[in-house]
């Protein structure tokens, strides 16, 4: 057997790390294409076409990170998977319905008569919105430790709105990078509005987070970890302020035939904000698989099975990252009209 | 309704809907690779035409497969928590390998296939088509390995009621796996062949006199004609393997209530679970014994030897006959159509209409086959290791009822939309001119490149 030298607790750490990586990559990657779906305007078919063209080559692979994340949770921490997803059964079902609606709309819209395209676009937008709200709601309930109190549901609703705003924000930043002219100006406007919502959301969730669990509060209010954790919302804020400045300046610095320098900046800042928010969450709740209830060590499946799968992970994950990078290289630059074969 | 029945119904609905799409895409991926390769080798734009039409069908089918597959990965944990608790140490890594080695590969390179036509060199495009086809096949490999292990488990040990993996190669290559994998890959080949043949015939009947549907139809009909006898042979081997490892399933398939020598091959009967007998039997004397034991008086174990441990007879019995009946029909249609194409260079209209009717015959045969094997494993989820009723969730029934209604509504709408869209795409492609200016230009450039090489 390979990886014999890894103890159970090391395996648990490795797998929660992999799970975290999948969730983070999912939130960033599917985040932007869900966000683009949420932002679809109802007043302009041509802009809708271009927006969907900008995510065309990527969305399917982006969604696969969710399959991997759910798969890793199921494989490495089966009891946590059952506990979490049975508690979140209804919102998870609603999320899946949203994902189904969205995934098929993408393909149907390109094949039907022009008149029906707008209907599938509406389905695409609705599916995206249902998905983001449900995901935010699930995240909210999850960090409360799957409580059923009215406060927990209130927090979950707040989280649903926050996650939707975050996805829409990164979606708008993606559009700034991938589109031109009138649509790009529109994306700038969306991003400017969403920055305020996102800033408010980060404050609200940070404060609410402190009141949820004693162990989290103790961690945040102790040194030195508290200093580090406390720095995260501050850095996020500075980044959002910087982003606001960038968003104001960029549209003025471009000419008709020269795109502005630094159109990638908002998207990069959005990624950093996602990364920091995720780190704050991860550090607050490690080593819990279900906050306050179940640790990753208690819910770990058989070590030998995990060692067997790790062989594949070590070889395959770098390949996945490499060819994902290749695809981003191939389709770099502004999105073309959707030439769908 | 109790939660056990609801969860079973929901899972049956989900896997039935899901399998419709992989059973097309697994083989359609290889067809696409073939079309693209023919184009690369001949430079003839008609192959690109065929490729472009079918790559769009592939994309739509693939999307439906992905979204219905994601819902299944949730249900393992939510509706069948006992499954992962008891056999997760075996099932988990196999599912994990499927995600890692297949899903990302398919999704990523499909992006290049669909959108990269002007962005990547032709060889990379062809390579992407090959990678997607390999990806779909790898996916089938892992999932059928897991399903086969659930049918014929080995290579594990049970400690304190939990299954632990002892020998991974014994687990992956368990006794029924090679047969089930071969049977499913061939089923996919036939499903895709009849889909291509059916839709191409539909286009021709709608007045599409271009070369593309003719060539696609010819390719598909020949493929079906070659695959169907192989499938019947592999299916027979699969049945013999099942007789060895799951005799109660064979007894249900053949409707054998009491162990007997010289069991008849029943062409039709109405199994009666209450009185443990069949009504209205029509059969070939000693046929079942001859097929299964290669001896007219061979002994077939009856259901009486497995009381309380055997599957419900009627669904297995009927599904098996639907599958075999369709297989024979496919053989006749594929061979007769091939003969017509070879001798008369074209198909008469009645055969084209027949092929249109047969467009989704692969779906029905594949579903029937899966019902035989999955219902035939009951009352076990993992043969001899875990009963289905011991794996079910403690969720409130109304929660499962809610999800069942949502899935049922979504899936029925999507199925109708899918079928309608396929035929709509056919009707729209009738209006497209034979060869566009752009394609002529491409063909000219290609010929120049070849001349200069």
Q: How far apart are the first and last CA of chain A?
A: 46
Token pair belonging to B273:
């679970």
CB contact (8 A) between residue B111 and residue A60: yes
How many CB atoms sit inside 10 A of residue A155's CB? 23
Residues 6+ apart with CB under 8 A from B202: B356, B359, B423, B426
Give B301 to chain A, closest Cα distance, Å. Answer: 37
Give the best residue of A114, A340, A341 to mutate against chain B (max B CB count within 10 A): A341
The one-digit pLDDT tens for each residue of chain A (341 residues) are 577 888 888 899 999 999 999 999 999 999 999 999 999 998 888 888 889 989 988 888 898 899 899 989 989 998 888 888 888 999 999 999 999 999 889 888 888 777 788 889 999 999 999 999 999 999 989 888 888 888 888 889 988 999 999 999 999 999 998 888 888 889 998 999 999 998 888 888 888 877 878 888 888 888 787 888 888 888 888 898 898 888 888 877 766 666 667 788 899 999 999 999 898 888 888 888 888 788 888 888 888 899 999 998 999 999 999 988 988 888 888 876 655 44
Q: Residue A148, Cα to own-chain centre: how many angstroms?
A: 25
Q: Which of A85, A97, A106 lies nearest to residue B63, judging by beta carbons?
A: A106
Q: Which residues of A touch B64 (CB under 8 A)?
A: 103-104, 107
- The alpha-carbon radius of gyration of chain A (Å, integer) is 21
Q: Residue A293, Cα to own-chain centre: how many angstroms?
A: 25
Contact (CB, 8 A) for B85 and A49 = no
Beta-bridge mates of residue B279: B270
Instruction: Quote the CA–CA distance of A331 and A268 in Å, as a whole number.
Output: 18
Task: State if pTM tops 0.85.
Answer: yes
3-state secondary structure of A290: strand
pLDDT in tens, B24-74: 999 999 999 999 999 999 888 889 889 989 999 999 999 899 888 888 888
Contact (CB, 8 A) for B396 and B229 = no
Averaged over B246-251, what is the pLDDT?
A: 91
Contact (CB, 8 A) for A264 and A328 = no
pLDDT in tens, B260-281: 888 888 888 888 888 888 888 8
* Preceding amide of A193 cis, omega within 30: no
pLDDT in tens, B127-186: 999 999 999 999 999 999 999 999 999 999 999 889 999 999 999 999 999 999 999 999
Q: Which of A86, A313, A323 lies nearest to residue B393, judging by beta carbons?
A: A86
Residue B438 is predicted with a pLDDT of 63
Longest dimension (CA), chain A: 62
Q: Which of A101, A111, A336 lies nearest to residue B60, judging by beta carbons?
A: A111
DSSP character string of B238-277? HHHHHHHH-HHHHHHHHT--S-EES--EEEEEEEETTTTE
pLDDT in tens, B423-433: 998 988 887 76
Contact (CB, 8 A) for B70 and A71 = no
CB contact (8 A) between residue B90 and residue A330: no
Q: Which residues of B touch A99 (CB under 8 A)?
A: 67, 70
Give the best residue of B11, B56, B63 to mutate against chain A (max A CB count within 10 A): B63
Instruction: Quote the CA–CA distance of B22 and B43 in Å, as a whole number.
Output: 30
For residue B90, what is the nearest residue in chain A, using CA coordinates? A305
Give the best residue of A29, A55, A67 to mutate against chain B (max B CB count within 10 A): A67
Q: Kindly state whether B410 is in contact with chain A, defined as any CB-CB distance less than 8 angstroms.
A: yes
pLDDT in tens, B314-328: 999 999 999 999 999
HSE at residue A136, side-chain half, CA atoms within 13 A, is 26
CB contact (8 A) between residue A97 and residue B93: no
How many residue contacts between A and B have a Cβ separation below 8 Å? 203
CB contact (8 A) between residue B66 and residue A330: no
Closest CA to B45 of B453, B433, B334: B433
Instruction: Quote the CA–CA distance of A332 and A324 in Å, as a whole number.
Output: 12
Q: Which residues of B touch A82 (CB under 8 A)?
A: 77-78, 81, 84-85
Residue B437 is predicted with a pLDDT of 63
Query: Would you say the C-alpha torsion A212, A214, A219, A223 has a positive or negative sign?
Result: positive
Residue A341 is predicted with a pLDDT of 43
Q: Which residues of A touch B99 (CB under 8 A)?
A: 64, 67-68, 71
HSE at residue B209, side-chain half, CA atoms within 13 A, is 1
pLDDT in tens, B92-133: 999 999 999 998 899 889 988 988 888 888 899 999 999 999
Q: Which residues of B touch A318 (CB under 8 A)?
A: none
Q: Which residues of B touch A78 (CB under 8 A)?
A: 77, 81, 84-85, 88, 92
Token pair belonging to B20:
């419709």
Tokens 């290049």 sit on residue: B112
Contact (CB, 8 A) for B264 and B285 = yes
Residue B452 is predicted with a pLDDT of 66
B288 pLDDT tier (thresholds 50, 70, 90): confident
B302 pLDDT tier (thresholds 50, 70, 90): confident
CA-to-CA dists, residue B150 to B54, B84, B155, B246, angstroms:
35, 12, 12, 12
For residue B398, what is the nearest residue in chain A, using CA coordinates? A90
Q: Summarize chain A as % helix, strand, coil (round to 5).
A: 80, 0, 20
Percentage with pLDDT > 70 across chain B: 95
CB contact (8 A) between residue A70 and residue B410: no
Closest CA to B104 of A107, A120, A118, A325: A325
Q: Which of A63, A66, A330 lies nearest to residue B120, judging by beta carbons?
A: A330
10 Å CB burial of residue B178 (0-12, 13-18, 19+) is middle
Contact (CB, 8 A) for B59 and A106 = no
Q: Which residues of B touch A104 (CB under 8 A)?
A: 60, 63-64, 67, 414, 417
Closest CA to B27 of B117, B137, B127, B152: B137
10 Å CB burial of residue B294 (0-12, 13-18, 19+) is exposed
Residue B128 is predicted with a pLDDT of 93
B230 pLDDT tier (thresholds 50, 70, 90): very high
3-state secondary structure of B311: coil
Token pair belonging to A33:
């294409």
3-state secondary structure of A146: coil
Beta-bridge mates of residue B157: B164
For residue B107, what is the nearest residue in chain A, using CA coordinates? A61
Residue A181 is predicted with a pLDDT of 82
Q: Which residues of B touch A86 (CB under 8 A)?
A: 77-78, 81, 393-395
Averaged over B326-338, what is the pLDDT?
A: 94
Q: Kindly state whether B90 is in contact with chain A, defined as any CB-CB distance less than 8 angstroms.
A: yes
Q: Which residues of B touch A58 (CB under 8 A)?
A: 111
For residue A55, what is the nearest residue in chain B, using CA coordinates? B111
């Amino acid at each position: 057997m390979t990886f014999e030298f890894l103890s159970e607790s090391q395996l648990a750490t490795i797998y929660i790390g992999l799970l975290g990586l999948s969730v983070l990559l999912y939130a960033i990657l599917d985040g932007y294409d869900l966000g683009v779906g949420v932002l679809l305007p109802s007043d302009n078919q041509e802009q809708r076409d271009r927006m969907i063209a900008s995510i065309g080559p990527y969305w399917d692979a982006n969604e696969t990170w969710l399959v991997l994340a759910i798969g890793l949770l199921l494989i490495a921490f089966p009891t946590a998977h059952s506990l979490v997803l049975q508690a979140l059964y209804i919102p998870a079902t609603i999320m899946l319905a949203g994902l189904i609606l969205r995934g098929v709309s993408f393909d149907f819209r390109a094949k039907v008569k022009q008149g029906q395209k707008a209907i599938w676009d509406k389905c695409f937008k609705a599916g995206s919105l249902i998905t983001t709200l449900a995901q935010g709601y699930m995240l909210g309930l999850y960090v409360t430790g799957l409580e059923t109190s009215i406060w927990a549901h209130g927090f979950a609703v707040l989280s649903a709105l926050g996650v939707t705003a975050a996805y829409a924000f990164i979606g708008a930043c993606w559009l700034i990078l991938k589109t031109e002219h009138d649509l790009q100006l529109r994306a700038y406007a969306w991003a400017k509005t969403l920055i305020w919502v996102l800033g408010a959301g980060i404050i609200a969730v940070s404060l609410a987070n402190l009141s949820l669990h004693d162990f989290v509060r103790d961690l945040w209010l102790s040194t030195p970890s508290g200093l580090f954790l406390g720095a995260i919302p501050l850095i996020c804020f500075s980044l959002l302020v910087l982003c606001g400045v960038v968003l104001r300046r960029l549209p003025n610095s471009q000419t008709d035939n020269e795109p502005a320098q630094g159109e990638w900046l908002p998207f990069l800042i959005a990624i950093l904000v996602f990364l920091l928010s995720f780190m704050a969450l991860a550090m607050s709740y490690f080593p819990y698989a279900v906050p306050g209830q179940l640790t990753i060590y208690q819910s770990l499946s058989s070590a030998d099975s995990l060692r067997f799968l790790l062989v594949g992970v070590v070889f395959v994950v770098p390949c996945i990252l490499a060819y994902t990078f290749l695809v981003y290289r191939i389709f770099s630059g502004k999105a073309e009209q959707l030439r769908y074969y | 309704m109790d939660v056990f029945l609801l969860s079973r119904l929901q899972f049956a609905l989900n896997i039935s809907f899901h399998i419709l799409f992989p059973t097309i895409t697994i083989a359609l991926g290889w067809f696409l690779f073939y079309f693209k390769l023919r184009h690369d080798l001949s430079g003839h734009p008609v192959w690109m035409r065929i490729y472009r039409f079918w790559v769009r069908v592939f994309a739509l089918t693939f999307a439906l497969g992905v979204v219905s597959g994601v819902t299944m990965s949730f249900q393992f944990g939510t509706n069948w928590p006992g499954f992962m608790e008891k056999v997760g140490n075996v099932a988990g890594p196999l599912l994990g390998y499927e995600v890692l080695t297949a899903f990302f590969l398919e999704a990523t390179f499909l992006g290049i296939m669909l959108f990269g036509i002007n962005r990547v060199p032709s060889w990379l495009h062809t390579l992407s088509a090959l990678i997607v086809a390999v990806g779909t096949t790898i996916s089938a490999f892992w999932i059928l390995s897991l399903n086969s292990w659930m049918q014929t488990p080995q290579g594990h040990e049970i400690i304190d009621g939990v299954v632990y993996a002892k020998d991974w190669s014994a687990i992956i290559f368990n006794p029924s796996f090679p047969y089930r994998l071969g049977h499913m890959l061939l089923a996919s080949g036939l499903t895709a062949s009849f889909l291509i043949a059916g839709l191409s015939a539909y286009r021709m009947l709608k007045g599409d006199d271009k070369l593309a549907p003719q060539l696609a139809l010819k390719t598909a009909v020949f493929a079906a004609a070659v695959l169907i006898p192989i499938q019947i042979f592999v299916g027979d081997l699969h049945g013999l393997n099942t007789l060895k490892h799951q005799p109660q399933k064979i007894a249900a398939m053949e409707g054998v209530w009491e162990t007997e020598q010289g069991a008849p091959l029943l062409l039709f009967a109405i199994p009666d679970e209450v009185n443990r007998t069949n009504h209205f039997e029509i059969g070939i004397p000693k046929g079942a014994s001859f097929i299964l034991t290669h001896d007219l008086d061979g002994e077939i174990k009856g259901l009486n030897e497995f009381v309380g441990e055997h599957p419900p007879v009627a669904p297995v019995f009927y599904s098996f006959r639907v599958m075999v009946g369709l297989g024979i029909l496919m053989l006749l249609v594929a061979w007769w159509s091939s003969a017509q194409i070879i001798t008369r260079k074209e198909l008469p209209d009645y055969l084209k209409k027949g092929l249109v009717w047969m467009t989704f015959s692969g779906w029905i045969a594949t579903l029937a086959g899966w019902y035989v094997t999955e219902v035939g494993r009951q009352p076990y989820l993992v043969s001899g290791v875990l009963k289905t009723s011991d794996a079910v969730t403690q969720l409130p029934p109304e929660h499962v009822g809610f999800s069942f209604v949502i899935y049922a509504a979504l899936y029925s709408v999507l199925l109708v939309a899918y079928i309608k869209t396929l035929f709509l795409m056919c009707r729209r492609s009738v209006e497209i001119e034979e060869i566009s200016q752009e394609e002529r230009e491409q063909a000219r450039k290609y010929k120049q490149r070849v001349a200069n090489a």
